[in-house]
Homo-oligomer: A and B are copies of this chain.
Amino acid sequence: YLIKTSPVHFDMNNHGSTGIFITPQGIQENKPYVIINGAIENDNNSPLPVIVRHRITSAEGTLITEEQQKLNLKPLSKTSFKLSSKILRNIQLWSPDEPNLYYVTSLLYDEKNQLLDEIRNPLGFRYFSIHKDKGFSLNGKHCFIKGMGRSQDYDHMGYAIPDEIQINDVRMMKEMGVNFLRSHYPQDPVVWNECDKLGIMMTGRIPLFDKIAYTRAFAENTKQMMREMILQNYNHPCVIMWEYMNEIFGGMDWYWPKPQDPEKMKKEKEEVYKLAVELEKMTRSLDPYRLTEQVFHTDPNPQWYKEAGLTSVSMINGWNIYFGWYHGNLQLVGKAIDEFHSYNPNLPYIISEYGAGSDNRIHTETPTVFDFSQEYMDMFHKVYLSEVAKRPWISGMCIWTWCDFQVDSRRDVMPHINNKGMVTADRKPKDVYYLYKARWNPSPMIYIAGKNWTERKAITQGEKTITKKVTVYSNLKEIELLINGTSLGKKKITDYEAVYEVPFREGQNLLLARDINSDLSDAALITYDFQPLMLDASCRELCINVGQSRTFFFDPLTRNQWLPDQTYRQGSWGHVNGNYYRVWNEMKAWQGIREGVDNNILNTSIDPVFQTFLVGVTEYRIDVPAGEYVVELYFTEPFSRERRLKPEEQTGADVNGDRIFNVLINQVPVLKNLNLAGQYGEQYAVIEKFETKTTTGGIVINLLPVKGEPVLSGIRIMKK
């Protein structure tokens, strides 16, 4: 932007602010008025008498009042002004439910009534407070903070996104029922504006996290960011809070995974505390009308925040809690909330982050921690909602996060993506979006969960239908579910959902969920492919995600349906031996079954197929009728050499980190001395395709070790 002004204009040199600061007062007493502070710059070499006029209007343009002031500007100088308005009549309060917005248009005139400058600022009237036991209240009423964290990037676009996407995000959050926005940095200006308009409260935050430098320059830079953010956004009624530090001990690379250095730790705590106190003091002095918050984390050690004194600095303590994801399991969530609360029960408490990742390609009927299924994500969020509901002293909860967003260092199911979004990186809502909408947005709604799992495969044995659970999210009293026109009965909604046992047929199924009392409804088209236990003429192929015990993976590109692995039994298929590689087996704190590795597998887009694998598998059997088949074997060396050299990692490599094996299909050698790391490099996808013939039926794949133990990530079999 290039801004052209008259030589006499409102202050342009105050940290990028509009130069005008509006403070609504007297709201609680029902005698609302505003205090307007500001400054005018006179770049002329001569003095000038001016008139400053402030017009307060409603969002629709109705004039509420006009106040004015005469000032005598000195040459080449800045002149401050301050003005209190009269008490305003018929003011409507601003709240998420009724975001009544006003504007203050400040006009600067010379003696001849010539307009010199004009600035419009938003204005909203609301009062709020927060209490350690009673939580947050807005305009005198309790208001639970339904919060959302947000990164402002978009699929394949990075941060350079059009305003429309920013605005659409706020609109979609509003629709979901969110009333509070948080992020890791000050959001784009259009986001603050849209939050004013739609009634989403906000905590403004600077990007200070993970660690600090122990220098004055760092501290000053931090304060400068904070000052700019506050002054630029002071007038937004959406802002109720300022926040500075997030997970500030989280990035101590000198600590992880090495043991603690007590001296260094002491110094770290002192320095962080000092900076926090400084930031807190400055924030309160710049804006005494907002709350302040700091945000803490479980890693590496939550006690440090208390020991450092940080839990007594801000007005609110926020805790980022990832039990059931990065730590522990979902049974520990309540305990964790309470433990962190005990660090300072005298301050209001917010769960400032919590979240679990999901990849729309992954689904399961048996969700488990870190499986990246949509189903586990929903289970995770329900537990947090339920634990919070039991604790009325919690002021609010802030979902991490709005959208799947880009993090270069991540190596999960979609490398470089953090999948904890309510919506995908291209803003397609996941089921969890509607899980919250049912709870947080009172508008009547029905949503059939799993409706974006449109293409499914089920192993069957000649049944005409197969029965699967379907959950409907709703905030209605009672609904009815129909499959292909047949009612499955009415059900009362309990805890915002109704669960049905649904008989699906092969091919397309139409699910229809409808309200008993209105014309509200939802529909889902779900196609089932019935896979017989043995590959037969009716099925195109069998894709086995070897080493993955529970999840279904659908590849939208090839339309391959990858089934979870199983132990061999006659008349079916599975591994005869070998172990699911489970990175969390040995780490007691991380209960769950995180299978496979979190590496970016190169040369493929179906990382989850390659990331999970069996170690030490020497025989895999697939019972098929006699005939000719195409067999594809999916391999990768999942581990770095460094890791392969550590016996405790149980990578199956030999003492030299080598892994070499031969492969035979029905006794015919097809790969000799396969050395994945040597021939292709580590974490590189390799697909080997063979043809085989069986006259007696059955395909046996043998992987015979030469050095270390064989690994196998996937098998795809088709009739030739």
Contacts and interface: CB of A to CB of B under 8 A. Distances in A.
A39 B512 CA distance: 62
Contact of A627 (B61, B171, B486): B61
A168 interface: yes
A625 B62 CA distance: 12
A470 to B, nearest CB: 15
A558 B165 contact: yes
Interface stretch (A7-15, A362-370, A517-525, A660-668): A517-525
Given A61-B627, A512-B512, A514-B485, A557 B519 contact: no
A627 B120 CA distance: 12
A263 interface: no
A484 interface: yes
A537 B60 contact: yes
Interface string A540-570: 1000000000000000011110000000000
Interface string A12-35: 000000000000000000000000
Interface residues of A, number: 33
A484 B518 CA distance: 9
Interface in A484-521: 484-486, 510, 512, 514, 519-521
Nearest to A172: B559
A537 B625 contact: no
A648 interface: no
B60 A627 contact: yes
A164 interface: yes
Interface in A617-634: 625-628
A560 B519 CA distance: 28
A628 B121 CA distance: 12
Interface string A101-122: 0000000000000000000100
A162 interface: yes
Contacts of A486: 519
A168 B626 CA distance: 25
A59 interface: yes
Nearest to A164: B558
A520 B525 CA distance: 12
Nearest to A154: B557
B514 A625 contact: no
Contacts of A559: 164, 168
Nearest to A167: B540
A512 B519 contact: no
A122 B471 CA distance: 48
B521 A485 contact: yes
B485 A557 contact: no
A255 to B, nearest CB: 42
Contacts of A165: 557-558
Contacts of A520: 484
The 4 tightest CB contacts between A and B, nearest first, are A164-B558, A523-B523, A484-B519, A485-B519
Interface string A461-497: 0000000000000000000000011100000000000
A514 B486 CA distance: 12
Nearest to A524: B523
B59 A537 contact: yes
Given A60-B627, A628-B120, A168 B519 contact: no
Nearest to A62: B626
Contacts of A557: 162, 164-165
A606 to B, nearest CB: 11
Nearest to A697: B61
Contacts of A512: 512, 523
A369 to B, nearest CB: 31
A425 to B, nearest CB: 12
Nearest to A558: B164
Contacts of A720: 120
Contacts of A540: 167, 171
A444 B559 CA distance: 24
Contacts of A558: 162, 164-165, 168
Nearest to A443: B507
A270 B53 CA distance: 88
Interface string A700-715: 0000000000000000
Contact of A510 (B60, B521, B628): B521
B484 A626 contact: no
28 contacts: A60-B537, A60-B627, A61-B625, A61-B626, A61-B627, A120-B720, A162-B557, A162-B558, A164-B557, A164-B558, A164-B559, A164-B560, A165-B557, A165-B558, A167-B540, A168-B558, A168-B559, A171-B540, A484-B519, A484-B520, A484-B521, A485-B514, A485-B519, A485-B521, A486-B519, A510-B521, A510-B523, A512-B523
Contacts of A120: 628, 720
Interface string A664-695: 00000000000000000000000000000000
Nearest to A118: B693
A716 to B, nearest CB: 9
Contacts of A519: 484-486
Contacts of A525: 522-523
